Structure 1
C-alpha cells in the first residue's frame, strides 16, 4: 500500500516539477507583452491568451501537488485544535465524502464539454487568439484525475501510517 501511495505522490511531484516553470515563463511573457505594447506599440492577442493558458495550466495541474504538500485551503475551525486522531478522522471524511465525490462530479459533468471541444477542435477565445481551446478545456479532467489520485494517496497514507 505504501508503494502505491509513493507512486501516486511521485506522479504529482513530476507534474509539479515540470509545471512550476510555467510561473517564470508566464511572468516573462507578461513582461514582454507590457514592454511590447507600451514601448514598441506592438500587441498580440495570441500572446496575451498564452498567459491565460499558462496560468490555467499552472493552477489546474499543480492542484494535486498542493494537496500532497498540504498547502491547500483548509477551513480549520475544528481542525487546528483537534487531536491527531480527530484530524485523521476529519481528513478521511473530507477525502472520502467531500473531495472524491466533488471531483468525480466535476469530471462527469465537464466531460461532454471537453469531448465536444475536441470533436470540433474548438478555436480561439478571441479573434486572433490561440486555436486550442480544446487543450485548455482538457485541463479540467486532468485536474480532477490528478487531485483524485492524490486524494487516494492521502487516504492510503491516513489508513496505513495514521496521522501526520
Structure 2
C-alpha cells in the first residue's frame, strides 16, 4: 500500500516535469517527419505519464476552482461551449446523409447510373455508387461520436430514474458528481487506452501495442512507415474505414472533457443551490416560444 502511494505521488510530481519538457521540446513528439518523434507521440498518447499530467491538471483546476468559483464556472462555459460548437457543426452530417441517400436512390433506380463523379475545383473524384452508399455509415458515425457531448449539454440523453427525482436538489448534484467522477471519467480513460492503439494499428506499420515499452517502440521506429488502412468490405465499396477509428478517439476525448465539465457544474450547483440550476447553460430551444426545462421541471423516466 505504501509503495502504491509513493508511486502515485512520484508520478504526480513528475507530471510537472513531463508537461514542461513536452512544451519546451515539441520537436521530440510533433515532428512527424522523424519516425522517432512519431513513435513518441504514439506511445505517450496513451501512457501513464499523460494520465498523471491530465489527472494533476484536473486536481489543480479543481482546487483553484473551489477557491475561486468564477474560474470553475469559466472552465464549464469553455468546455460546454466547445461541445456545443462541435456538435452543432457535426449535426449537419445528418442532413448530408439524407440528401446523399436520396441522390443515390434517384441515380440508381431511375437513371441506372453505376458511378458518381464529383469535381468542384476541376479535380474529378469518381467512385462506384456502392462506395457512396457505404460512405453513409461515416455520416452516421460523425453524428453519433461528435454530437454525444453536445446532446449531453443540451440535456437530451435519456435518464433511467430510480431515485433521482425523489431526492433533494443538492442530493441530485452529489449523485451527478459521483457519476462523473467514478463512471464517466474512468470509462473514457479505459476506452481511450484501447481506442488509441487500435487507431494507430490501422495507420502505421509495424503495428504498435499498448504493452510495448518505449525502448521497443523506438527500435521499431527504424522501420516505421505510414500504412493507412484502405480496405473496404466490398471490391468497390467505401475504403476509408480508418476514419471510424479516428472518430472513436475523438468521441472519447469529447466525453472525457464533458465529464469534467459535468463534475464542475454539479459541484457549483450543489454549492450555490437551486437558483444556479442551468446557470450559463446554452441550450438550443426547438422554437422561439420554447423555454428549456430545468431538472426539477422535467418528468421522471
Deviations 1:43-81 (A, max 9, x none): 512101221000001110000111111211321111133
Work out whether 1:121 is the aligned partner of 2:222: no
Deviations 1:89-138 (A, max 9, x none): 21111111111111111111122210111212111432223332212210
Q: Which residue of 2 aligns with 1:135?
A: 243
Whether the 8 Å contact between 1:117 and 1:133 is mirrored in structure 2 is: no
What is the distance in 2 between the residues matched to 1:36 and 1:24?
A: 18
Q: Which residue of 2 aligns with 1:153?
A: 261
The higher radius of gyration belongs to: 2
Aligned length in residues: 164
Q: How does 1:40-119 map to 2 (within 5 A)?
A: 40-43=111-114, 44-119=129-204
Work out whether 1:38 is the aligned partner of 2:109: yes
What is the distance in 1 between the residues matched to 2:232 and 2:162?
A: 41
Whether the 8 Å contact between 1:45 and 1:128 is mirrored in structure 2 is: yes
Moved more, 105-114 or 72-81: 72-81
What is the distance in 1 between the residues matched to 2:164 and 2:111?
A: 53
Structure 1 pair 31–3 and aligned structure 2 pair: CA distance change class (3 A): same
5+ residue gaps, structure 1: none
Pairwise CA distance, 1:155: 0.8
What is the distance in 1 between the residues matched to 2:173 and 2:263?
A: 10
Runs of 4+ in 1 over 3 A off after TM superposition: none
Q: Residue 71 of structure 1 aligns to a residue in which SS?
A: coil
Q: Which residue of 1 aligns with 2:9?
A: none
Pairwise CA distance, 1:82: 2.5
Whether the 8 Å contact between 1:67 and 1:147 is mirrored in structure 2 is: no
Q: Which residue of 1 aligns with 2:93?
A: 22
**TM-score, with length taken from structure 1:** 0.92
Greater share of helix: 1
Pairwise CA distance, 1:21: 0.9
What is the distance in 2 between the residues matched to 1:156 and 1:25?
A: 35
What is the distance in 2 between the residues matched to 1:125 and 1:79?
A: 46
Q: Residue 203 of structure 2 aligns to a residue in which SS?
A: helix
Pick 1 or 2: higher relative contact order, CA cutoff 8 A, min separation 6.
1
Q: Which residue of 1 aligns with 2:283?
A: none
What is the distance in 2 between the residues matched to 1:109 and 1:80?
A: 35
